[in-house]
C-alpha cells in the first residue's frame, strides 16, 4: 500500500508541475495588449482603439509581436494565419513582414544597463495572486483525500 501512495503522490506532483507550466506559457506576454484588435481582425481599416496598442507593441515589443505572427497554432485559435495577420498589422500603417520578424526573433535581446524603478501597483497585484483553475483545485482536493485520509 505504501508503494501505491508513493506512486500516486509522484503522479500528482508531476501533473501539478505540468499544469502549472502549461498555464504560465499559454500565450505570449504582449497578447493581452492586443485584445482590442480581435474583433477587428477582418477590418481593412481598424480603429485607433486597436491600432494604438498595436503600434505600441510594434515599437516596444517587436519580438513578442513576431512570436504571435509566426505561431500558426496561436493564430488559428483566432481564425487567422500569418499572411492575414501581417496584412492586418499593415492596415495600421506598420511595416511588418516575415523577414523583419525572423530578424527580430533571431537577434539577441537588448542589454539594459539601468534597471527601471519599481512602481507601486504596476503589476496590479499580479505577483501576489495565485490562480487555481478548476482542474488544479480538484487535483489538490483529491490529493488531500488520498493522502490524508
Q: What local confidence, expressed as pLDDT, does residue 73 receive? A: 86
Q: What pLDDT, on a 0 to 100 scale, did the predictor assign at position 74?
A: 83
Round the CA-based radius of gyration of the chain to a whole number and report it: 21
Q: Please indicate, yes or no, if residue 2 is contained in any of the structural domains.
A: no
Identify the pLDDT of residue 88.
Answer: 92
Q: How confident is the model at residue 35 (pLDDT cuts 50, 70, 90)?
A: confident
- The answer as to whether 70 is a domain residue is yes
Q: How much is the pLDDT for 32?
A: 86
Q: Show the domain range for 84.
A: 28-107
Q: Is residue 10 part of a domain?
A: no
Q: What is the mean pLDDT of residues 114-128?
A: 56
Domain count, the chain: 1
Q: Is residue 63 part of a domain?
A: yes
Question: For 52-61, what is each residue's pLDDT tens digit?
Answer: 999 999 999 9
Residue 114 to residues 108, 110, 111, Cα–Cα distance (Å): 18, 12, 9
Give the sign of the dihedral formed by CA 23, CA 120, CA 48, CA 56.
negative
| Residues contacting 75, CB < 8 A, separation 6+ | 68, 69, 81, 82, 84, 85
Q: What angle do the packed helices 48-60 and 62-69 form, to 10 degrees?
A: 110
Amino acid at each position: 500500500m505504501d508503494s501505491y501512495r508513493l506512486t500516486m503522490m509522484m503522479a500528482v506532483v508531476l501533473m501539478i508541475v505540468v499544469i502549472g507550466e502549461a498555464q504560465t506559457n499559454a500565450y505570449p506576454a504582449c497578447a493581452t495588449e492586443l485584445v482590442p484588435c480581435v474583433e477587428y481582425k477582418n477590418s481593412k481599416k481598424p480603429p485607433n482603439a486597436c491600432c494604438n496598442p498595436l503600434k505600441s507593441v510594434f515599437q516596444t515589443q517587436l519580438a513578442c509581436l513576431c512570436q504571435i505572427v509566426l505561431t500558426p497554432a496561436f493564430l488559428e485559435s483566432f481564425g487567422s494565419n500569418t499572411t492575414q495577420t501581417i496584412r492586418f498589422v499593415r492596415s495600421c500603417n506598420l511595416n511588418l513582414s516575415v523577414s523583419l520578424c525572423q530578424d527580430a526573433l533571431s537577434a539577441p535581446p537588448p542589454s539594459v544597463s539601468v534597471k527601471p524603478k519599481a512602481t507601486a501597483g504596476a503589476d496590479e497585484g499580479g505577483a501576489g495572486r495565485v490562480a487555481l483553475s478548476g482542474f488544479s483545485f480538484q487535483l489538490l482536493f483529491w490529493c488531500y483525500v488520498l493522502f490524508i485520509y
